[in-house]
């Protein structure tokens, strides 16, 4: 049965170490994390779980990306061999706390716009099959403090519309 | 067949006078608008059409609302007897160009948050039946200059999740 989920934020802060460890080494015994945060079922942990379900590709189209927890999840997927492509907004990628430089250094393909208008999308497509989209910018402030929504939609028609938009932007922002 | 639509922005600027006139007086002969803008099929005109389809209620949950064209559509619905409720963000409603004051003066019920975090949603629910949600803030700049997405979803499960979120916020922001 296709995934249909709505996540509302703010999310309680939570530890995602167990989720990351399980994704890095499935079945390995979990080491307890020393941080004081609870590891419960939250909007953030659900979002991370959806992202970590990627097996082949992850296409990201994000106005801003400064949340270290989500950046760790993306880096883990990249190390696991998932093809990650990231499109972002030029004005925001240089700001303090942006994770874009770190992801680029890790070897992830990043492209950004050249225009005065904002690249204001905030969506992800997992394995060209699952669309994750909403109002949420990928910042810790938005996750923990704002009222936000994220839809998770496994529906070929909606996914295709966003995948096509991603490919258009990816080509348009090709620097070569 | 339920509506399923994806709108991508930026939208070409367009004249929506004919749409507004038809909604105000269905079947009345159209008077040509003197403005130089084309009245074509654009992402903006499609969004306006969906809003103008409201017959009983329009629930708006908008981070910022400064687009005069969309404000005219909302005012028209209010005059036509549609029950309009609007939730917005306190920090943005006082900014230059905000349409919130004008809508409130027109008699539309408006509530806003009291918190430091942003009320960052950008969704509308038409007749408790159709959800309109995405990355788009209701500003002329976003509509004409940004890359944005809006989903139009006539699906009871998704609509209910957002309607419940709207009612929660509406009660939480009750000033009395
Ligand atoms: Zn921890
Ligand atoms: Zn005109």
**pLDDT tens-digit profile of A126-136?**
999 999 999 99
Instruction: State yes or no: pLDDT of B24 exceeds 90.
Output: yes
Options B115, B120, B160, B164, the catalytic residue: B120
Q: How far apart are the first and last CA of chain B?
A: 42
Across the interface, whether the CB atoms of A120 and B133 are under 8 A apart is answered no
* Nearest ligand, CA A45: 1
- What is the B14 CA–ligand 2 centroid distance (Å)? 7
Q: Is residue B145 part of a domain?
A: yes
* Banded model confidence at residue A46, pLDDT cuts 50, 70, 90: very high
Instruction: State yes or no: pLDDT of A160 exceeds 80.
Output: yes
Q: Is residue B21 part of a domain?
A: no
pLDDT for B119 equals: 95
Q: Is residue A156 part of a domain?
A: yes
Report the alpha-carbon distance of residue B175 to residue A175 in Å, rounded.
51
Distance from CA of A149 to the nearest CA of B (A): 7
Options B127, B155, B160, B164, the catalytic residue: B127
Distance from CA of A175 to the nearest CA of B (A): 18
Q: Is residue B47 part of a domain?
A: yes
Q: Is residue B51 part of a domain?
A: yes
Split into its structural domains, chain A has a count of: 1
Q: What's the CATH code of the domain at B135?
A: 3.30.870.10
Known catalytic residue: A127? yes
* Nearest ligand, CA A21: 1
Bridge partners of A60, per DSSP, are A86, A124
Distance from CA of B131 to the nearest CA of A (A): 12
The helix-helix angle for B68-79 and B43-52 (nearest 10°) equals 20
Which chain A residue is nearest to residue B169, measuring alpha carbons?
A147
Q: Is residue B18 part of a domain?
A: no
Quote the domain boundaries for residue B105: 4-13+39-172
pLDDT for B30 equals: 77
Q: Could you give the ipTM of this predicted complex? A: 0.94
Q: Is residue A123 part of a domain?
A: yes
* Banded model confidence at residue B39, pLDDT cuts 50, 70, 90: confident
Q: Which of B10, B146, B149 sits opposite A123 (nearest CB)?
A: B149
Q: Which of B116, B118, B135 sits opposite A120 (nearest CB)?
A: B135
Q: Pick B90 or B142 by higher pLDDT.
A: B142
pLDDT for B139 equals: 96
Report the alpha-carbon distance of residue B26 to residue B37 in Å, rounded.
22
* Nearest ligand, CA A40: 1
Q: Which of B117, B123, B148 sits opposite A145 (nearest CB)?
A: B117
Q: Which three-class secondary structure string do you get for chain A?
A: CCCEEEEEECCCCCCCHHHHHHHHCCCCCCCCCCCCCCCCCCHHHHHHHHHHCCCCEEEEEECCECCHHHHHHHHHHHHCCCEEEEEECHHHHCCCCCCHHHHHHCCCEEEECCCCCCECCEEEEECCCEEEEECCCECHHHHHHCEEEEEEECCHHHHHHHHHHHHHHHHHCCCC
Instruction: State yes or no: pLDDT of A10 exceeds 80.
Output: yes
Q: Is residue B105 part of a domain?
A: yes
């Amino acid at each position: 049965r296709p995934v249909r989920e709505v996540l509302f934020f703010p999310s309680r802060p939570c530890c995602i170490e167990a989720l990351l460890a399980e994704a890095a080494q499935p079945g390995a015994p979990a080491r307890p994390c020393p941080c004081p945060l609870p590891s419960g079922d939250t909007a953030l942990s659900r979002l991370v779980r959806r992202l970590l379900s990627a097996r082949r590709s992850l296409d990201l189209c994000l106005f801003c990306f400064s949340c270290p927890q989500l950046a760790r999840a993306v880096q883990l997927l990249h190390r696991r061999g998932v093809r990650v492509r990231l499109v972002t907004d030029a004005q925001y990628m240089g700001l303090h706390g942006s994770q874009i430089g770190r992801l680029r250094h890790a070897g992830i393909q990043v492209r950004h716009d050249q225009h005065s208008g904002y690249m204001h999308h905030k969506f992800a497509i997992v394995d060209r099959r699952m669309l994750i989209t909403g109002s949420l910018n990928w910042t810790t402030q938005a996750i923990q403090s704002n009222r936000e929504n994220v839809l998770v939609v496994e529906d070929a028609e909606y996914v295709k519309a966003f995948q096509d938009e991603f490919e258009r932007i990816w080509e348009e922002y090709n620097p070569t």
